[in-house]
């Protein structure tokens, strides 16, 4: 066994990434404090070729060296926009046909492996603050809450880890269709 070289990985460069086919998924980032988490969102979004990110509230925006530390340039290849109010962002996405899913523990949450993507609709996946989770405003506008089953003593995962798991699972469903 050996590691693959960069040439063998055959990844598009930044210029070619603009023409990639992207999955109809937007990650909506609701008041995330850590710029390292924001950078991780960009890097995961690039790796999975999703449509992009919507940054809301106190969430930092590129360019910023702390975001770049974990994004490693993905902030330049992933479409993103900043909308100050998450409720306005979700209403806008809904008007464009997006199904709104929260990644949050709620009394009506569906385990992520049991969730089936709605047919012929793009999806907005909302992740929230590291301490308080998604805002009440986002909760009020959601179509569904998704949960990642957990079996240890902790009740949550780091938001960028949870977002990565959820985005990967959702992207697998799209690619299997």
**Domains in the chain with CATH codes:** 21-176 (3.40.1280.10)
C-alpha distances in Å from residue 98, one per residue of 6, 26, 83, 114, 123: 36, 9, 16, 20, 5
In angstroms, rounded to a whole number, what is the distance separating the alpha carbons of residues 137 and 131?
Answer: 16
Residue 16's pLDDT band (boundaries 50, 70, 90)?
A: confident
**pLDDT for residue 69:** 96
- Does the structure show a pLDDT above 90 at 118? yes
Angle at 88 between CA 85 and CA 90, to 5 degrees: 110
**Distance from the first to the final alpha carbon of the chain:** 32
89 backbone dihedrals φ, ψ, rounded to 5°: -60, -45
At 126-152, the pLDDT tens digits run 999 999 999 999 999 999 999 999 999
The answer to whether 174 and 117 have CB atoms below 8 angstroms apart is: yes
The pTM (predicted TM-score) of the whole model is: 0.94
**pLDDT for residue 21:** 85
In angstroms, rounded to a whole number, what is the distance separating the alpha carbons of residues 96 and 176?
Answer: 24
Burial class (CB in 10 A: 0-12, 13-18, 19+), 68: middle
């Amino acid at each position: 066994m050996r590691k693959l070289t960069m040439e063998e990985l055959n990844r598009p460069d930044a210029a070619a990434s603009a023409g990639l086919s992207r999955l109809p998924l937007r990650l909506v980032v609701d008041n995330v404090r850590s710029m390292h988490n924001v950078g991780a969102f960009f890097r995961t979004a690039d790796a999975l070729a999703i449509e992009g990110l919507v940054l809301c509230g106190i969430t930092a925006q590129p360019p910023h060296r702390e975001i770049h530390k974990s994004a490693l340039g993905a902030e330049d290849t992933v479409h993103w926009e900043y909308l100050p109010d998450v409720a306005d962002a979700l209403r806008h996405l809904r008007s464009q046909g997006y199904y709104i899913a929260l990644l949050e523990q709620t009394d009506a949450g569906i385990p992520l492996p049991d969730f089936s993507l709605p047919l012929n609709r793009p999806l907005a996946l909302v992740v929230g603050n590291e301490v308080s989770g998604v805002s009440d405003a986002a909760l009020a506008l959601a179509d569904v809450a998704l949960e990642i089953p957990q079996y240890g003593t902790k009740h949550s995962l780091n938001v960028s880890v949870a977002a990565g798991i959820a985005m990967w699972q959702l992207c697998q469903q799209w690619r299997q269709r």
